[in-house]
């Protein structure tokens, strides 16, 4: 086991959790050394990501905006969970809920998101999941990719940390392109960004 200090990290999910799995695998392999995933928050009680967390022995909770009744109550419940677990870094990994400016301001440069395109292309409100890849194919781009960025009050508007390009192939469907972008970009960039940012947090705390 690594004896170095680690930043308690929460991963926000809404679906299958493939990016969560990439992070868990990177933590296990030692590629992530300065962060420790101690909490998974899902916006959906049926998300398979909850099973991935359970298998990895990571505490997981569901916070549903619908059940909370309002954005304010939803974010208050999330904040309570984060504070109860002493979280220092948040990673949005396929989290389909937009966070308000009030929430993001509490976590300046402490929230990361992975987006399945090369921002500023195919990003912003309404661009998520397969919709991003459908738009890329419709536009006829030859290169797409993924971006990890800080989260602020503007959807996909925070400072870019890492990007990686992925070729679009002639016979691609949205599904085949989505899979290639995940394998060749998202699953590589997101763990690298988590390690980079968590190491910086620890370094800043030492100063």
Active-site residue list: 115
Choose among 78, 81, 116: nearest CA to 98: 78
Report the distance separating Cα 101 and Cα 99, nearest Å. 7
Q: CA nearest 18: which of 163, 199, 181, 201?
A: 181
Rg of the chain taking only CA atoms, in angstroms: 16
For the purposes of burial, counting CB atoms within 10 Å of the CB of 59, is it exposed (0-12), middle (13-18) or buried (19 or more)?
A: middle
Tokens of 169: 């192939």
Q: Round to the nearest angstrom and report the end-to-end CA distance of the chain.
A: 25
Which residues does 184 contact at the CB level (< 8 Å), separation at least 6?
A: 164, 166
Tokens describing residue 178: 């989505």
């Amino acid at each position: 086991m690594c004896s170095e200090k680690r930043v308690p990290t929460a991963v926000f999910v809404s679906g299958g959790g493939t990016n969560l799995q990439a992070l868990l695998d990177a933590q296990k392999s030692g590629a992530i050394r300065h962060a420790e995933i101690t909490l998974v928050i899902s916006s959906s009680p049926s998300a398979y990501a909850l099973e991935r967390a359970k298998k990895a022995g990571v505490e997981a909770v569901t916070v549903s905006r619908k059940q909370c009744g309002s954005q304010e109550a939803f974010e208050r419940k999330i904040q309570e969970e984060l504070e109860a677990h002493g979280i220092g870094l948040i990673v949005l990994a396929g989290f389909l809920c937009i966070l308000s400016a009030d929430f993001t301001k509490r976590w300046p440069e402490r929230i990361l998101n992975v987006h399945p395109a090369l921002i500023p292309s195919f990003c912003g409100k309404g661009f998520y999941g397969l919709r991003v890849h459908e738009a890329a194919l419709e536009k006829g781009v030859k290169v797409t990719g993924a971006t990890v960025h800080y989260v602020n009050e503007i959807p996909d508007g925070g400072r870019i940390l890492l990007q990686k390009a992925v070729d679009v192939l002639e016979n691609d469907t949205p599904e085949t392109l989505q899979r290639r972008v995940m394998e060749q970009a998202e699953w590589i960039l997101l763990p690298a960004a988590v390690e980079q940012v968590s190491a910086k947090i620890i370094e800043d705390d030492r100063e």
